[in-house]
Every structure is written in structure tokens, then in C-alpha cells.
Amino acid sequence: MALLDVQNLSVRFDTQDGSVRAVDGVSFQLEEGETLGLVGESGSGKSVTNLALMGLVPAPPGVVQADHINFAGRDLLTLTAEELRQLRGNEISMIFQDPMTSLNPLLTVGRQLSEVLEIHQGLSRREADRLCAAGLADVGIPEPETRLAAYPHELSGGMRQRVMIAMALLCKPRVLIADEPTTALDVTIQAQILELMTDLRERHGTAIILITHDLGVVAGCADRVHVMYAGRLVETAPTAPLFSLPVHPYTRGLLASVPTLTGDPTSALSSIEGQPPDLANLPAGCAFAPRCDYAETRCRSGPMPLEAIPGESAPRTVACLLATEIAAASGGAR
């Protein structure tokens, strides 16, 4: 059985300007020790999906619904607030995008680290501090003991993200949700942080959900990739097949907008035309249809279920009526 099994998760925000469907009928599984990449444009609902798993969607205005969210055999939807709290930071932890603002500027790093152990494992401050220093050393921070007394503003961005990772891993969680852990960092630091995460996964066997809009990041780290658009999953596939044969027009658009070393440097990078849709009133049918080069009239009505692609050996699904044609066409062209 999968470690995490999400069935039909929806999140909507009831705001003054109407009801925003940020996540709409998302289902997925996460296996023990696996890295799952979640990609999509800004506003496609990646963060909200994962906040929903943690029970951190601000309510009001947020409303979370799902058939079930099973984690290690327990349905998170049926847990009390207190039980959920005991899971957070303990069995499921989260790293956020911006290390500059995600740490409390008024408390020392040591205080912010040790309180995790104090609350989840009932350790004393001294024991906790010892473990925290070890945790910092583990993520490659030199002189961890002295760092414990530092305030966040005294550390560089990369250091702070390492602190965040150390904090998330203190209790040896079974799932680590990394919400764009490298977006705010410069490229060399990005590579270091990703390497660190891969390394930690191998040593601790933590399953990772890696959220990003940088496909390069996903290609390097993830076992499987889920592509989200306007609150829905539009394509799921193992990493290698997805990159070699993207099927959903949106995925194809995303991939075409990534510069490659092997590609023709003179050819223009394409970008996806048009604007992301307004989540408060989505068009009927495929949400991507208005921006899609392949779209036909039948794309503009009816539900768009995720379906397996006929003839593909890899376990992959896509939500596109034209999937077979596109797959056949590009497969043939290759």
C-alpha cells in the first residue's frame, strides 16, 4: 500500500470575488522513499494541494474536501486538529520557497530548531540542542554549535535553506514536502541544495514531494512527475518517459520553454501563449483549451478525466482527448 494515498482532493476559497477552485479533484499516490515531482505554472494549485495535506489551508476562506487522504493507514481527514498537529513536522514536514522569510527573524536558529524536538519528542532544551547541532552538521553547515546562537539574518540564503531542511528532517519524517526549495536561491546554491536533498533521501529513506516550476530540477531528482494546470492534474508519468515523450499539450509547452544544451541554440525558445485561466470561473471542458494549439470543439465541453495512454508501457496517464493522436504523431516523428 502506498505511504500516502490522496483521492479526489478539492480545495476552494470562498472570497468576496466569488469561489476560487484552487485544487479540483486531484488524486495521487506516494510510495515509501520515492521522489514525486509536481510541476505547473504559478497559481496552478501546487502549494495549496500540499498545504491541504498538512491541514494548513487557511480556513476561512479555504474549504478542503476529499474522498480520503490516507497516510500510513490513517485518513488525515478524520484526525482531530491535535492529532494532525502531532503529525506535522514529525511524520510529514514541509520546506518553503523563501528561506528569507520562512524563519522567524526574532528567534535564534537554535531556538527554532530545538522547539521541534521539544514538542514532538519531549526532549529537554539541552538534549535538543545537541541533536540540532548534529542535524545542522548533517546538512553541511560548518560550526553548527555556534550557528545555533545565530539569528536568521546573520546567515546567507543558502545557509538558511539548509537550516530549513535540517529543521524539517529533525524528527526523521516519512514524507518531506519541498515547496520550491530552490526558487529563491542562485544557481550554484540551487545545485548544492538539490544534491543535499537527494543525498538525504538516500540515507534516510524519506519520501519527497518536490514542487517546482523548474523542469530541470525535476529531471534531476524525481522518480515520477505530475503536471498540474488550473488546479487539476493533467499528466502523470515516470520522469524519463515524460521528458522523452510529453503528451499533454501543456506539458509539451512547458518542455519547449526550457533551454537545452543539446538543442539548436539558434532556434527560438517558445513560450505558452495567453494567460492562466481565472480560477473563479473556469471554462467548460479542458481548462487549457483556450491556449492550446491542438484544441478542437469537443475539448470545450464535458469532463476531462485522467486516462492511461493506449499502447504506452509506462504507467502514465493524461487528461487530453487528443492524447492518442499526439502520442502517435510525436512517437512516429521521433
Partner 1 sequence: MTRFLLRRFMWFAITLFTVVTISFFLMRSVRGGPFDTDRALNEAVRINIEARYHLDWPLWKQYAHYVGPFNLDRHGPEFLGGDGSDLFGGVLTGDFGPSFRYRDYTVNDIIAQSLPISALLGTVAMMWALALGITTGMLSALRRGSGLDISLRLAATGGIALPNFVIAGFLVILFVFLVPLFPVAGWGSLRHMLLPGFALGAPFAAYISRLTRTGMLETLSQDHIRTAWAKGLTPRLVIMRHALKGGILPVVSYLGPATAGILTGSLVIEKIFYIPGTGSHFVNSALNRDYTLSMGVTILFTVLVYSLNLVVDLAYTLLDPRIKLEDE
Q: How far apart are CA 143 and CA 72, in angstroms?
A: 37
CB neighbours (10 Å) of residue 315? 11
Q: Which does 98 bind (CB under 5 to 8 A by kind): partner 1, Mg ion, ligand ATP, none?
A: partner 1
98 to each of 70, 164, 207, 249, how far by Cα in Å?
29, 10, 22, 30
Positions in 270-309 near ligand ATP (CB under 6 A): 279
For partner 1, which residue of 25, 40, 89, 277 counts as binding (CB under 8 A)? 89
Q: How far apart are CA 99 and CA 91, in angstroms?
A: 21
Give the nearer residue to Mg ion in terms of CB position, either 177 or 295. Answer: 177
Q: Does 44 bind ligand ATP (CB under 6 A)?
A: yes
Q: How far apart are CA 218 and CA 203, in angstroms?
A: 20
Q: How far apart are CA 169 and CA 181, in angstroms?
A: 14
Which residue stretch of 90-98, 127-135, 181-189, 321-329 sits at the interface with partner 1 (rule: CB under 8 A)?
90-98
For partner 1, which residue of 38, 39, 69, 94 counts as binding (CB under 8 A)? 94
Q: Which does 86 bind (CB under 5 to 8 A by kind): Mg ion, ligand ATP, partner 1, none?
A: partner 1
DSSP string, 242-284: HHHS--SHHHHHHHHTS--SSS-TTSPPP---S----TTSPPS
For partner 1, which residue of 155, 164, 286, 304 counts as binding (CB under 8 A)? 164
Q: How far apart are CA 108 and CA 68, in angstroms?
A: 39
Which residue stretch of 40-48, 72-80, 160-168, 296-304 sits at the interface with ligand ATP (rule: CB under 6 A)?
40-48
Q: Does 208 bind ligand ATP (CB under 6 A)?
A: no
Which residue stretch of 105-113, 232-240, 245-253, 269-277 sits at the interface with partner 1 (rule: CB under 8 A)?
105-113
Give 333's contacts (C-beta < 8 A, 6+ positions apart): none
For partner 1, which residue of 98, 127, 214, 223 counts as binding (CB under 8 A)? 98
260 to each of 210, 263, 267, 330, how far by Cα in Å?
21, 5, 11, 19
Give the nearer residue to ligand ATP in terms of CB position, either 140 or 290. Answer: 290
* The one-letter amino acid at 299: C
CB-CB contact of 294 with 326 (8 Å) = yes
x/- map, 14-53, Mg ion, by CB under 5 A: ---------------------------------x------
- Min CB(53)–partner 1 separation in Å: 11
C-alpha grid cell, residue 73: 493507514
- Min CB(40)–ligand ATP separation in Å: 6
For partner 1, which residue of 120, 224, 226, 232 counts as binding (CB under 8 A)? 120
- Min CB(313)–ligand ATP separation in Å: 30
How would you class 6 by CB atoms within 10 Å of its CB: exposed for 0-12, middle for 13-18, buried for 19 or more? buried
CB-CB contact of 229 with 47 (8 Å) = no
Of 36, 38, 35, 60, which is closest to residue 47 (Cα–Cα)?
Answer: 38
Q: Does 47 bind ligand ATP (CB under 6 A)?
A: yes
Q: Which does 40 bind (CB under 5 to 8 A by kind): ligand ATP, Mg ion, partner 1, none?
A: ligand ATP
Give the nearer residue to ligand ATP in terms of CB position, either 40 or 285. Answer: 40
Q: Does 153 bind partner 1 (CB under 8 A)?
A: yes
Q: How far apart are CA 285 and CA 277, in angstroms?
A: 13
Residues in touch with partner 1 (CB under 8 A):
54, 56, 85-90, 93-94, 96, 98, 101-107, 115-116, 119-120, 151, 153, 164, 167
Residues in touch with ligand ATP (CB under 6 A):
13, 15, 20, 22, 40, 42-48, 58, 61, 213, 279
